């Protein structure tokens, strides 16, 4: 084994080819090409097969990374896939959009002197190969169980739970207010990070495995939580967080000052071939406009890069801290800069100017002051530094909070935290309502796909134990 592995001293880190910015700017296709088989094997062989693999410890799913890297280096791809899929319901998605620099790759021990192993790209390669070879199979249980589980929300958290429960034989019903499955994977995250076919084929697979989807079904409107509790033996709430944080500034109500998710959903729907009136009438289309995006997270990065592709005449991103202190991934900032986005660091909007529609953003420059209780330096306005940036479309990307789920679901006894996220017991994953569980962003607050998958898998285990205890079966822990 050692002969084949440990190549990090001889073989430099290499990523698959990235499309040229000029080509990227004209479409919504992913920007990274696929590894060729030999490249994947060579890059996987850089792994030093650590006794204590920090990559695995820092992957929220504790993926068995060293093993699938070794099998990839040996050309045993089907086995590599089996191992990758045993801990992750969407390895091809995580391989594409996990912030690996903060998780597995950022903790790879060879990172210090030699640059990390390209873990995410190999994970994607293994799973894409598995799809192409027909190794990815629907979740077909060995035996059916009569008990049913209702899952509210078809995002990664809900889908991971649905697959795990179906594998155990439960009758799984997923309810979502959208007309397609995937949550933010389908309507939030743009195609240049995650092409939509990748999400759609997972949907088809889960349907083939016998999971029932009830789409255009909004809990709170089409049924109350109580009604769903009456239909199923257990319920999982995985509804994500969607209330956009607002900006308190004069002129924020002007036309063409829009929330990020409205903008991204319109663009994604357009890409999927839907008719989108707000896009067609131009109000959510950046074409020919000077665009200003406010925010420094991943959502802001997705907005600026979408605006470039829609043909904006200029795209600026305002963020009140500096590059080193922004929450978004540095990789995405580099990609945005390559595509022509201008970052206006250390600046915050003071007011929006214009008659009916926005014509400009008055900004004030900031400097970073002393750190607050969280350890982050607080941005402090610099007096007399105001300036105006011209804009025809302003996109607010300041983050998301949970909606008022107890009120929306007609379930005031469902307990939430002071941030509005659903309170779920750490030990059991259960909420304050018997048999009602919760997972993903609605429990954590806005987070990551990989954490939603992890939570969904944990919730599936908890639901299984709960139902088995309820029906009086001896506690069983089935292998996932």
By CB under 6 A, name the binding residues for ligand FAD.
97-98, 152-158, 175-178, 183-184, 188-189, 193, 218-220, 238-240, 264, 298-299, 302, 408, 440-441, 447-450, 452
Query: Binding marks (x or -) toward ligand SF4, 22..51, rule CB under 6 A?
Result: -------------------------xxxx-
How distant, in Å, are the alpha carbons of 220, 402, 416, 432 from that of 412? 12, 15, 10, 11
Query: Using DSSP, how many helices (H) and how many strands (E) does the chain show?
Result: 19, 16
Segment lying near ligand SF4 (by CB under 6 A), choices 90-98, 306-314, 385-393, 462-470: 90-98
Query: Nearest Cα to 446, choosing from 321, 346, 298, 320?
Result: 298
Establish if 14 lies at the interface with ligand SF4 (CB under 6 A).
no
How distant, in Å, are the alpha carbons of 289, 300, 379, 477 from that of 389? 13, 18, 20, 59
Find out whether 457 and 446 touch, Cβ atoms under 8 Å: no
Least spacing, CB of residue 191 vs ligand SF4, in Å: 19
Least spacing, CB of residue 185 vs ligand FAD, in Å: 6
Instruction: Give the residue, chosen from 39, 70, 118, 123, that forms a contact with ligand SF4 under the rule CB under 6 A.
Output: 123
* 25 Cα distance to chain centroid: 22
Least spacing, CB of residue 219 vs ligand SF4, in Å: 29
Query: Nearest Cα to 431, choosing from 416, 409, 448?
Result: 416
Sheet (strand 212-214) strand order: 212-214, 171-175, 148-152, 234-237, 436-438
Half-sphere exposure (CA, 13 Å, Cβ side) for 115?
Answer: 9
CA angle 314, 318, 319 (to 5 degrees): 150
The listed partner (ligand FAD, ligand SF4, none) that binds 259, CB under 5 to 8 Å by sort, is none
The listed partner (ligand SF4, ligand FAD, none) that binds 184, CB under 5 to 8 Å by sort, is ligand FAD
The listed partner (ligand SF4, ligand FAD, none) that binds 123, CB under 5 to 8 Å by sort, is ligand SF4
The listed partner (ligand FAD, ligand SF4, none) that binds 178, CB under 5 to 8 Å by sort, is ligand FAD
The listed partner (ligand SF4, ligand FAD, none) that binds 193, CB under 5 to 8 Å by sort, is ligand FAD
The listed partner (ligand SF4, ligand FAD, none) that binds 256, CB under 5 to 8 Å by sort, is none
Instruction: Give the residue, chosen from 55, 160, 161, 308, that forms a contact with ligand SF4 under the rule CB under 6 A.
Output: 55
Tokens of 197: 């076919």
Tokens of 392: 């025809």
Count CB atoms within 10 A of the CB of residue 21.
Answer: 15
Q: Which of residues 427-466 bind ligand SF4 (CB under 6 A)?
A: 450
Least spacing, CB of residue 1 vs ligand SF4, in Å: 13
Find out whether 17 and 79 touch, Cβ atoms under 8 Å: no
Segment lying near ligand SF4 (by CB under 6 A), choices 118-126, 177-185, 361-369, 395-403: 118-126
Find out whether 152 and 237 touch, Cβ atoms under 8 Å: yes
Establish if 110 lies at the interface with ligand SF4 (CB under 6 A).
yes
List strand residue ranges (DSSP E) for 397-462, in order. Answer: 400-401, 436-438
Interacting residue ranges for ligand SF4, rule: CB under 6 A = 47-50, 53-55, 59, 61, 63, 65-66, 88, 94-95, 98, 100, 103-104, 108-110, 117, 119-120, 123, 450
């Amino acid at each position: 084994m050692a002969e084949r592995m440990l190549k990090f001293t001889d073989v430099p880190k290499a990523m698959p080819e990235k499309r040229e910015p000029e080509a990227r700017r004209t479409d919504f296709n992913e920007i990274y090409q696929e590894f060729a088989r030999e490249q994947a094997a060579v890059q996987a062989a850089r792994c030093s097969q650590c006794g204590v693999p920090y990559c695995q410890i820092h992957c929220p799913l504790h993926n068995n990374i060293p093993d699938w890297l070794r099998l990839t280096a040996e050309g045993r791809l089907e086995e590599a896939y089996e191992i990758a899929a045993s801990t992750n319901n969407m390895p091809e998605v995580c391989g594409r959009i996990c912030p690996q620099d903060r998780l597995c790759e950022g903790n790879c021990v060879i990172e210090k002197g030699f640059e990390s192993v390209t873990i995410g790209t190999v994970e994607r390669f293994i799973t894409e190969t598995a799809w192409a070879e027909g190794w990815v199979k629907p979740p077909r249980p060995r035996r059916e169980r009569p008990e049913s589980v209702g899952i509210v929300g078809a995002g990664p958290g809900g889908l991971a739970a649905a697959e795990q429960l179906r594998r155990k034989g439960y009758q799984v019903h997923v309810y979502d207010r959208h007309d397609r499955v995937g949550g933010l994977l389908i309507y939030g995250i743009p195609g240049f990070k995650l092409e939509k076919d990748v999400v759609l084929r997972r949907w088809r697979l889960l349907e083939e495995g016998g999971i029932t989807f009830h789409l255009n079904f909004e809990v709170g409107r089409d049924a109350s939580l109580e009604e769903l509790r009456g239909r199923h033996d257990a319920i999982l709430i995985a509804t994500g967080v969607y209330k956009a944080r607002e900006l308190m500034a004069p002129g924020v109500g002007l036309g063409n000052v829009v929330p990020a998710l409205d903008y991204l959903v319109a663009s994604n729907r357009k890409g999927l071939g839907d008719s989108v009136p707000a896009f067609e009438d131009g109000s959510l289309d950046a074409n020919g406009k000077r665009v200003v995006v406010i925010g420094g997270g991943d959502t802001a990065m997705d907005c600026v890069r979408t605006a470039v592709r829609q043909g904006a005449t200029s795209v600026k991103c305002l963020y009140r801290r500096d590059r080193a202190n922004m929450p978004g991934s540095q990789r995405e900032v580099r990609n945005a800069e390559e595509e022509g986005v201008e970052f206006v660091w250390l600046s915050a909007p003071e007011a929006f100017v214009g008659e009916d529609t926005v014509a400009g953003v008055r900004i004030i420059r900031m400097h970073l002051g002393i750190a607050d209780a969280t350890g982050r330096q607080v941005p402090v306005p610099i007096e007399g530094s105001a300036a105006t940036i011209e804009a025809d479309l302003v996109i607010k990307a300041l983050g998301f909070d949970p909606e008022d789920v107890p009120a929306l679901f007609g379930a005031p006894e469902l307990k939430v935290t002071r941030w509005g996220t659903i309170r779920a017991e750490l030990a059991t994953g259960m909420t304050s309502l018997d048999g009602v569980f919760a997972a993903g962003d609605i429990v954590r607050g806005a987070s990551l796909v990989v954490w939603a998958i992890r939570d969904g898998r944990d919730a599936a285990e908890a639901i299984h134990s709960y139902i088995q205890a309820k029906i009086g079966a001896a506690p069983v822990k089935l292998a996932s």
